[in-house]
Structure 1
Amino acid sequence: MHLLYCDESGTTADPNQKHSVLAGVSMFERQSYWLSSRLDTIAERFNPGDPNSLELHGNAMLAGRNFWRRFPLKQRSEAIKEALSAFNESHISNKLFACIIRKEAVSPNNPVQFAFEQLCSRFDHYLMRLHKNGDTQRGIIIFDKSTYEKTIQNLATDFRTIGHTWGVVRNLAEVPLFLDSKASRLIQLADLVAYSIFRKYEKNDDQYFDIISNRIDSEGGVIHGLFESL
């Protein structure tokens, strides 16, 4: 089973933000423990007394909000980079999928719904490529709990039955699951990945994205895992 942990970055309703990002990190199920453990060590360094209560959240870490305000910017930034590096250094089969939406380009449609169709179909095609190469695996998409939970589940059901713009989803084992990000280091990793991509497109700051850019799903020099609606 391949797990795609997803999160969004950018506030859909904020007129001051031009972009919305939906991104996910895909991994074979046995890779999840190793990556979670790497992220646990980062949290433990900042809060050794209660590391499980500390959430690795890109916006809060970089801005120094709440718990993170007690640490200097350099330390907070390096922690983000260390978490992203853990993903970059993980097994070669772990992939990155991302959709960057310029909100003007899809208005009046909801950019998150638009991005989910792209992300879902690209993950499905990745699993199909694995199947054609003799590695038959199903996949499941795991989101942070959000106001879009019902909408995304309905869309996923439609994609498996009626189909999406490019066909019918065939390789997902179930509709998306939704977890509290505080309970999942890998949802937190997806947040950091989405935030790093948002920083690149919204703030022209690519110091975080550059760490993970080579993990975008591709084959034969063709990039499949990145979609830009700009």
Structure 2
Amino acid sequence: MFLLYADESGTPGGADQEHFVLAGFSVFERSAHWLSLELDKIAAIFNPQDSHAVELHGAPMLAGRGFWRKFDKELRLEAIKQALSLIDGRKFRIFASVVRKGAISPNDPVHYTFQQIVTRFDHFLARQHVHFNNTQRGLILFDKSSKEAPIQALAKAFKLDGHDWGRLRNMAEVPAFIDSEATRLIQLADLIAYALFRYYEKKDGQFFDLIERKFDYFGGVQHGLHTVV
């Protein structure tokens, strides 16, 4: 089974931010544990006695808020970059949808971006079957958030009634929601989404540059990144 860990960055409503991002990465189930251990090593830099007490989240790390205030900015930035550098484009694939909210209005940014990444992940799974004789199901894991109820409703509708381009055919189940405190891989999805948000909202490419070539890609075409900006 392939797992897709996903999170959002930016707010779907309000005029204070132009962009909304939903993004994540796929990992084969047997590789998830190894990746989590590597992220634990980065967290341990900040609390060697209890690395599990450290949550890696892009916005507070960059701004130096709360727990992160006591650490030098360069150390915080380097930790974000080290985590993003763990995404090996041969093993892991990034899927993301970035929208400028005004460009898709009156469409709901959550609905719009969710449809994009879930169908692209579904197509990735189909491609594994057709081109690589690797038949696998997929499961999407989201961070618990205020969007849990609408995304659950969307996922159920997509599975039963289809989406704008057809039906989902390779999902093992509707998305699950887990606390980011419980898994490093949701934290890594947060860092990916934040890297995209910083790039499109703030024109800050220091994190995006590390993942730019790691989106799902096949046949000379980049499938993993969808933008309406």
SS at structure 2 position matched to 1:87: coil
Whether 1:182 aligns to 2:181 is yes
| C-alpha deviation, 1:156, in angstroms | 1.1
1:145 maps to 144
Q: What is the aligned-residue RMSD (CA, Å)?
A: 1.0
Alpha-carbon separation, structure 1, partners of 2:153 and 2:163: 12
User: Aligned partners of 1:35, 1:7: CA distance in 2, in Å?
Assistant: 17
| 1:102 aligns to 2:100 (yes or no) | yes
Q: TM-score, normalised by structure 1?
A: 0.97
Question: Match of 2:28?
Answer: 28
Question: 2:5 aligns to what?
Answer: 5
Matched, 1:166 2:171: no
Residue type of the partner of 1:35?
L
Mean alpha-carbon deviation: is it higher for 13-22 or for 186-195?
Answer: 13-22
Give the match's secondary structure for 1:46. coil
Residue 200 of structure 2 corresponds to which residue in structure 1?
Answer: 201
Q: Structure 1 residues 137-146 or 158-167, which shifts more?
A: 158-167
Deviation at 1:12, TM superposition (A): 2.2
1:211-230 correspondence to structure 2 within 5 Å: 211-230=210-229
User: What whole-Å deviation, never above 9, does each CA across 1:10-40 have from its counterpart, x for those lacking one?
Assistant: 1223412110000011010011011100100
Structure 1 residue 187: Cα displacement? 0.1
Partner of 2:78: 78
Structure 2: tracts of 5 or more residues without a match: none
What is the CA distance between 1:63 and its match in structure 2? Answer: 0.3
- Within 2, Cα distance between the matches of 1:12 and 1:122? 21
Aligned mates of 1:109, 1:220 — CA distance in 2: 31
Moved over 4 A (4+): none
After TM superposition, the score normalised by the length of structure 2 is 0.97
Larger mean Cα displacement after TM superposition, 15-24 or 151-160: 151-160
Instruction: Give SS of 1:116's match.
Output: helix
| SS of residue in 2 equivalent to 1:27 | strand
Listed as ranges, the gaps of 5+ residues in structure 1 are none
**Equivalent residue in structure 2 for 1:129, among 127, 130, 135:** 127
Q: State percent identity of aligned pairs.
A: 55
- Distance between the aligned counterparts of 1:205 and 1:55, measured in 2? 23
Count the aligned residue pairs: 228
Q: Distance in 1 between matches of 2:205 and 2:122?
A: 28
Instruction: Give CA-to-partner distance per residue, 1:60-85, whole Å, 9 cap, x none.
Output: 00000111000111111000000001
Aligned mates of 2:41, 2:216 — CA distance in 1: 27
Question: 1:91-112: per-residue Cα shift (whole Å, max 9, x none)?
Answer: 7131000000101012233201
